[in-house]
Amino acid sequence: MAVGNILGGIAVQTVVLAALDAFGVGPGRPLTYRAASLVLVLEGLAVVAVLAAVVAGTQLPADVMVWRVTPEALLIAALWLVSLHLVQRAGRSLPWHESGEAPDNQDPPRGHTRRKRERTATARGVSTARAGAIFAVAALVTLTTGVVLERSGDAIAGKVGLSGVLFGATFLAAATALPEISTGLTSVRQGDYQLAISDIFGGNAFLPALFLIATLLSGQAVLPQAHDTDIYLTATGIVLTVVYVTGLLFRPTRRIARMGIDSLLVLVLYAVAVAGLFAIAGST
């Protein structure tokens, strides 16, 4: 269930972009047209690179471990850290015209809503210590409810007859994607389209790094024990990410059912992928 939740969560969170495109952007150009930036393309490629390492890691022997750490878990964590460095550098400057920004995309720079909220909080007298305390409490609540969510999800999966992989990759992954929906809708409604996509891509690149923590806690190699459904979910995440990276490059202007063509294609591909996931699970 843990592996299915992580890898299935990447696919579900990518689908969140389609929901933001349909219900958050409003009339006019689609989400990828407004947010087009080479920095976001780089973030999407980081997701693909990390997921490719996940696929490679599933093929390694389970007994290759040193100090409770496996090479594939280290590689994934290293790729994530390198991607953070590259995205940070790309955010400061790129050797491209307009630093990789597409013409007539969002006017304010990415993250402008965060700076506005910071200025507003400062004007209201909200100190950094108070904001940090609120964040710490919210993080603790999230940690605690995550345990409850897993326990109740495991019980529900047993009651309805779903395997841990299927439940973790669908229902549990959808539940854990709710924070991304909340923050994404807030970002797009305030005109920070790049931040909404960056939040999804950044979270998706980070999730596989949790395999390092899982390996340290369990003392066992996690990825070599992955099933065919886990590899299938990883491939699904790669395909959906590539669709949006392509959308950021080609910037579709046409909207169908209130969303861009790339978002519609992601929804269709995800529906087909879920059907295939149940077919694979049913045949094993």
**Structural contact between residues 69 and 209, judged by C-beta atoms closer than 8 angstroms:** no
DSSP states of 216-244: HHHSS-SGGG--HHHHHHHHHHHHHHHHH
Phi/psi-derived region of residue 257, left when phi > 0, alpha when psi is between -120 and 50, beta in every other case: left
Tokens, residue 162:
């779903």
The predicted structure's pLDDT at residue 241 = 96
Residues in the chain, total: 284
The predicted structure's pLDDT at residue 238 = 95
3-class state of residue 90 by DSSP? helix
**Residue 125 burial class via C-beta count within 10 angstroms: exposed 0-12, middle 13-18, buried 19 and up:** exposed
The predicted structure's pLDDT at residue 227 = 80
The predicted structure's pLDDT at residue 121 = 64
Contacts of 137 (CB under 8 A, 6+ apart): none
CA end-to-end distance (rounded Å), the chain = 16
How many angstroms separate the CA atoms of 101 and 104, rounded? 9
The predicted structure's pLDDT at residue 78 = 93
Whole-model pTM? Answer: 0.81
Q: Which amino acid is at 222?
A: V
How many angstroms separate the CA atoms of 141 and 125, rounded? 25
The predicted structure's pLDDT at residue 107 = 63
The predicted structure's pLDDT at residue 161 = 64
The predicted structure's pLDDT at residue 132 = 85
User: pLDDT 10s per residue in the chain (284 long)?
Assistant: 667 777 878 888 899 999 999 988 878 889 999 988 889 999 999 999 999 999 988 888 777 777 788 888 889 999 999 999 998 888 777 777 665 666 666 666 655 556 666 666 666 767 788 888 888 998 888 888 877 877 777 777 677 666 666 676 677 777 777 878 888 888 888 888 899 999 999 999 999 998 888 888 878 888 887 788 888 889 999 999 999 999 999 998 888 988 999 999 999 999 999 888 878 776 66
Beta bridge partners of 37: 101
How many angstroms separate the CA atoms of 259 and 22, rounded? 5
The predicted structure's pLDDT at residue 43 = 95
Beta bridge partners of 259: 256
The long-range contacts involving 74-83, CB below 8 angstroms and separated by at least 24 positions, are 74/212, 76/50, 76/208, 76/209, 76/211, 76/212, 77/209, 77/212, 79/46, 79/49, 79/50, 79/53, 80/46, 80/50, 80/205, 80/206, 80/208, 80/209, 83/42, 83/43, 83/46, 83/49, 83/50, 83/205
Nearest to 49 by CA among 251, 241, 248: 241
DSSP states of 31-75: HHHHH-BHHHHHHHHHHHHHHHHHHHHTTS-TT--BTTB-HHHHH
How many angstroms separate the CA atoms of 122 and 141, rounded? 25
Beta bridge partners of 69: 66
